[in-house]
Amino acid sequence: MTMTRREFAGTSLAVAGAATLPAVGAAACSEGSRPSTDSDSAAAAAAQPGRLLILGGTGFIGPHMVRHALARGHEVTLFNRGRTNPELFPGVETLIGDRDGALDALRGKEWDYVIDNSGYVPRLVRDSATLLRDAVGRYLFTSTGSVYNFDQDELREDSTLLEVTDPASEDVGQYYGELKVLCEEAVQEIYGDRGTVTRLHVVAGPGDPTDRFTYWPVRTHHGGEVIAPGDMDNPVQYIDVRDLAEFCMHLLEADTGGIFNVAGPTLDETRMDEFLYGIRATVTTPLSFTWVDEDFLRNREPPARFPLWYSQRGPTRALAQVRSHRGVEAGLRFRPLAVTARETLDWFLGEPEERRAQLQLNLERDAEILAHWNSR
C-alpha cells in the first residue's frame, strides 16, 4: 500500500545494529533541559495577563495550551465548530463557527494573541489571518516539520523546504507539507514581524492520539523480549506537548516573532539506546532488549516498522535530525525523558479499554521476527 508523505513522516521505519547494554537511567538534562513541573498547576502568573484566542483548542495540543494559559492568568477564547470535546472547558468562552466561510463570530472582537492550531488549507488560513489582522497583536501559527525536504543531513529553520507542485490543491492528505508551506507564507505576508511560526515534530505526552511515542512506554511496561530496531546510535526526537504549550505561550508573552523548530527531548542528540533504556528505567516489568539489524527488518514482507525510528540512509534521513537551537535561545525547554514516559504511561493505563486497544503492539509479529533473528 502506498503511503502519503504525511503518513510516512508519522511512521517509523525499522533499522539496524546488534548488541546489548546494561540498564541505565533516563537521559541526563543538557542545555535547554529543566526539571519536570506540572505545566497546568504549577505555572507562575504572567507578568501581564492578556486575552488569548485559540483557533481549535479541544484536540490534543490545544487543551494543554488552554490549561497552561489559564494557569498563567490569561483570558482564553476558543473558536471551533463545537464538535470535538465540547465539554472540556465549560468556563471558557467558545465561539462557534467554521473556518470555511463562517467566521462571523470573530468579528468585532479583539485579542492580544492568537494561536492557530487548525490551519491546514492556505485559503482558510489567509481568511482568518486577514480578518484578525487589526484585531490582534501577535499571530502564532502551528506548522510542521513536514514543510522540509527530508533529503538533507539536518533540518534548521533555513533548510530547504518542499517545492509546492500544485498550489491550487486543497488535498491535505496528499499535500500536507506543501500546504503548510503556503499557510506559513500567508501568515508571514499578512502579519510580518507580528507573525510567529512553530514547526512541530512528533508531539508526545498525555492525550496523544497517534501513539507514536506512547508505543514505547506501553511496550516496555508489557515486558518480555522487546525488539530494539536498528543502530544504537540512531537519533530519536519528539516534543512533550506540555513543553510545546509552555514555549508557545512564552513566545506570545515575550512578543517574539520568527520561525522555530520545536523538537527535543534535549538540545543534544538523543540516541536510540539512551531513549529505550531511559524508558526502561521508569518501569518495574522484567524485560530485555534485542537489537535487530535494519536490513533484516527491511527485507521482511511487509517490512517491519517501529515508531520514532527513522533510517539514516537515503532521502528521509533528516526526519530525526531537527535542530531546535533557535527555539532554545528563545526559551524552549525540555522536561526529562523519564517524566514524559512515566506520565504518558500513567495516562494511557487510565484510558478506557477500547482506547487502549487501539495501540497495536504486534506481539505475534515481533515474536516471529525474534525467533528468526535469534536462530541465525
> Which carries the bigger pLDDT value, residue 278 or residue 83?
278
Residue-level pLDDT at 341 = 98
Q: pTM for this one?
A: 0.89
pLDDT band, residue 32 (cuts 50/70/90): low
> Which carries the bigger pLDDT value, residue 290 or residue 314?
290
Copy the grid coordinates of residue 302. Answer: 511487509
Ordered alpha helix ranges (H), 209-289: 215-222, 241-253, 272-280
| Ramachandran angles phi, psi of 347, nearest 5° | -60, -45
| Ramachandran angles phi, psi of 173, nearest 5° | -60, -40
Q: Yes or no: say if 145 and 201 are a contact pair by the CB < 8 Å rule.
A: yes
Taking residues 26-36, report their average pLDDT: 42
Which of 9-13, 96-100, 118-122 is least confident? 9-13
Taking residues 69-91, report their average pLDDT: 94
Report whether pLDDT(1) > 80: no
Mean pLDDT of the chain: 89
Report whether pLDDT(239) > 50: yes
Compute CA 51 distance to the chain's CA centroid, rounded to the nearest angstrom.
25
Report whether pLDDT(365) > 90: yes
Q: Respond yes or no on whether the N-terminal peptide bond of residue 90 is cis (omega within 30° of 0).
A: no
> Which carries the bigger pLDDT value, residue 42 or residue 232?
232
Share of the chain above pLDDT 90, in %: 82
Starting at the edge strand that comes first in sequence, how are the strands of the sheet with 93-96 ordered?
A: 93-96, 75-80, 51-55, 113-116, 138-144, 195-200, 258-262
Residue-level pLDDT at 2 = 40
Taking residues 248-255, report their average pLDDT: 98
CA distance 201 to 313: 19
Q: Yes or no: say if 232 and 21 are a contact pair by the CB < 8 Å rule.
A: yes
User: DSSP letter at 80?
Assistant: E
Copy the grid coordinates of residue 111. Answer: 485579542
| Residue 320 CB contacts under 8 Å (≥ 6 apart), including other chains | 234, 235, 236, 237, 308, 310, 312
Q: Yes or no: say if 27 and 237 are a contact pair by the CB < 8 Å rule.
A: no
Report whether pLDDT(71) > 80: yes
Q: Which of 50, 178, 41 lies closest to 115, judged by CA? A: 50
CA distance 274 to 140: 33
How is the chain split among helix, strand and coil, in percent rounded to 5? 35, 15, 50
**CB-hemisphere CA count at 13 Å for 64?**
20
pLDDT digits (tens, 9 = 90+) for 50-60: 999 999 999 99
Residues in a beta bridge with 144: 200
Query: Could you list the residue range(s) of the whole structural domain that residue 118 is in?
Result: 5-374
Domains in the chain: how many in total?
1
Report whether pLDDT(146) > 90: yes
pLDDT digits (tens, 9 = 90+) for 257-268: 999 999 999 988
Share of the chain above pLDDT 70, in %: 89
Which of 30-44, 163-177, 231-245, 321-335 is least confident? 30-44
| Ramachandran angles phi, psi of 101, nearest 5° | 90, 5
Q: How far is CA 316 from CA 20, 109, 207, in A?
A: 27, 44, 28
Q: Which of 240, 272, 265 lies closest to 322, judged by CA? A: 265
pLDDT digits (tens, 9 = 90+) for 305-345: 999 999 888 898 999 999 999 999 999 999 999 999 999 99
Q: Yes or no: say if 58 and 88 are a contact pair by the CB < 8 Å rule.
A: yes
Report whether pLDDT(36) > 60: no
CA distance 36 to 207: 18
Residue-level pLDDT at 43 = 77
> Which carries the bigger pLDDT value, residue 90 or residue 7?
90
Report whether pLDDT(232) > 70: yes
CATH code of the domain containing 131: 3.40.50.720
Residue-level pLDDT at 374 = 95
C-beta neighbour count of 105 within 10 angstroms: 14
Write the DSSP string, 137-183: SEEEEEEEGGGB-S-SS-B-TTSPBPP-S-TT---HHHHHHHHHHHH
Report whether pLDDT(129) > 50: yes
Q: Which of 50, 51, 52, 55 lies closest to 128, judged by CA? A: 55
Report whether pLDDT(183) > 80: yes
CA distance 205 to 343: 7
Is 305 strand, coil or helix?
coil
